[in-house]
Structures are given as structure tokens and as C-alpha cells.
């Protein structure tokens, strides 16, 4: 044998060093490459945003952001103007002079007055009306664009939905195997609590047609993700 040195009967420790077969190494690396490729494929599938899929939606969304920014400014001006009008009467001064001495004035430089407050409140009402219209149009565009995106991801969604189903079916098989072992222990009146019983009760019994697993799989058939014959007969 190659593990022994010729003529002296001594064992060569070097010859006992483990070396993996080339076929095993090749299979290992091939498996690693396949796993990496599958992971990469999942990562590369990107769902577009509504703005990416629709220039119209992007334009409306930007307009809404602009209007909201204006609303924040107007509301701040209204707050400052109202505060100034509630304060004790003081000699009227120029807006620029007010800035120089550190007094607060609205962003457009207008001196606080009831008229100015009314103008700001009117601007706020107009902004709110405009925002409401934009939001309504965004809702319509969102519906249209969502349908386009759903068409783009339909095949990938179906693939992943089916993958969930098959993983669940695999889990059900594991649950069946575990149940068989548990039943055998119970039938023999063996006290096996020390093994920490681990039935997956949340999904129901794997043979129960009204279990959560069975109901879910039948719903996937009704939605067209599974064929009827892909569901085990006992839980169809």
C-alpha cells in the first residue's frame, strides 16, 4: 500500500494527508458558482419606481413636492404675520429697517397687516386646491403606471410565487416524516417529552385538507400559480 514506506514496515505520515478527489473539488466549485449565479440573478431583478416607469408621474410628483415646499413657506409667513398682529401695537417701521433690527417679517418683505394676512391665507387656499388636483392626477397616473410595471414583473412574480409553493410542499413532506415518527412513539406509549417535541402546529396537520398549508396551496391553484395535480391529492 502507498501508506507504508518500502522495506522497513514504518508508516509514512505524509501519505495519510487527506487530498480531495479532483471530481469532488470540481463539483464543489461548480456548486458554488451556481449558487452565486442564482444569488446574482435575484439581486439583479429590480422593480422600477413609478417615476422611473412614467415621465408623467415623475413630473406630477415633482410638482407636488414644489407646491408642498411653497405651502410650508406660506404657512410660516401666516404664523409670523398672525403673531405680529396679536402683539401690542408698535410704531410702524419699514420692512428693511425691521430686518436690520432683528424683527421678524414675512419672507416676501411685506410688513404685517390684516390685508397681508388675508393675501397669505388666500394663497394657502389656492395652494391646497392645487395640491388636491395634483394628488388626484397622481392617483390616476399611479394606476396606469402600476399596470405597466405589473406587466413587466409578472413572470418574475409568478416564478417566485411558485417557488414559495414548492418550498412549502417540501416542508409538508418533512412535516409528514416527522409526524410518522411522533405517531410511532405515541402508539408505543413512549414518554418522549425529553426529546422536546417539535411539531409545526402553526401550519396544521400535513394531512388536514383544512390546514393553513392546504388552504394556501388551493388558493394558489385558484390564482393560476399551481396546477391542481401539483397539489397532493389528500389536501386538494
Per-residue pLDDT of the chain in tens (236 residues, 90 and over written 9): 444 344 444 444 444 444 444 444 455 555 555 555 555 555 689 999 999 999 999 999 999 999 999 999 999 999 988 888 887 765 666 667 777 877 766 555 566 788 989 999 999 999 999 999 999 999 999 999 999 999 999 999 999 999 999 999 999 999 999 999 999 999 999 999 999 999 999 999 999 999 999 999 999 999 999 999 999 999 99
pLDDT at 99: 74
pLDDT at 196: 96
- Rounded to whole angstroms, the Cα distance separating 230 from 226 reads 6
pLDDT at 1: 42
- Spell out the long-range contacts of 157-160 with Cβ–Cβ below 8 A and sequence spacing 24 or more: 158/225
pLDDT at 101: 77
171 DSSP assignment: H
Reading the block at residue 104, the C-alpha cell is 421678524
pLDDT at 25: 45
Would the pTM of this model clear 0.95, i.e. be above it? no
pLDDT at 29: 54
Reading the block at residue 168, the C-alpha cell is 412549502
Amino acid at each position: 500500500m502507498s501508506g507504508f514506506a518500502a522495506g522497513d514496515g514504518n508508516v509514512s505520515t505524509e501519505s495519510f494527508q487527506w487530498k480531495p478527489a479532483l471530481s469532488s473539488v470540481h463539483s464543489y466549485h461548480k456548486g458554488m458558482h451556481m449558487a452565486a449565479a442564482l444569488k446574482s440573478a435575484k439581486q439583479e431583478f429590480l422593480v422600477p419606481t413609478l417615476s422611473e416607469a412614467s415621465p408623467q408621474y415623475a413630473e406630477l410628483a415633482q410638482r407636488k413636492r414644489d407646491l408642498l415646499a411653497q405651502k410650508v413657506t406660506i404657512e410660516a409667513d401666516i404664523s409670523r404675520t398672525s403673531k405680529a398682529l396679536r402683539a401690542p401695537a408698535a410704531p410702524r417701521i419699514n420692512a428693511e429697517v425691521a430686518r436690520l433690527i432683528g424683527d421678524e417679517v414675512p419672507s416676501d418683505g411685506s410688513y404685517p397687516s390684516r390685508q397681508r394676512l388675508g393675501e397669505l391665507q388666500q394663497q394657502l387656499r389656492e395652494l391646497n386646491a392645487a395640491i388636491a388636483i395634483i394628488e388626484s392626477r397622481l392617483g390616476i397616473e399611479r394606476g396606469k403606471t402600476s399596470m405597466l410595471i405589473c406587466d413587466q414583473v409578472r413572470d418574475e412574480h409568478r416564478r417566485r410565487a411558485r417557488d414559495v409553493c414548492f418550498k412549502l410542499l417540501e416542508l409538508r413532506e418533512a412535516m409528514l416524516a416527522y409526524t410518522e415518527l411522533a405517531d410511532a412513539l405515541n402508539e408505543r406509549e413512549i414518554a418522549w417529552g425529553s426529546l422536546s417535541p417539535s411539531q409545526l402546529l402553526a401550519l396544521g396537520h400535513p394531512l388536514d385538507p383544512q390546514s393553513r398549508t392546504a388552504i394556501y396551496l388551493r388558493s394558489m391553484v385558484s390564482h393560476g400559480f399551481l396546477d391542481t395535480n401539483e397539489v397532493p391529492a389528500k389536501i386538494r
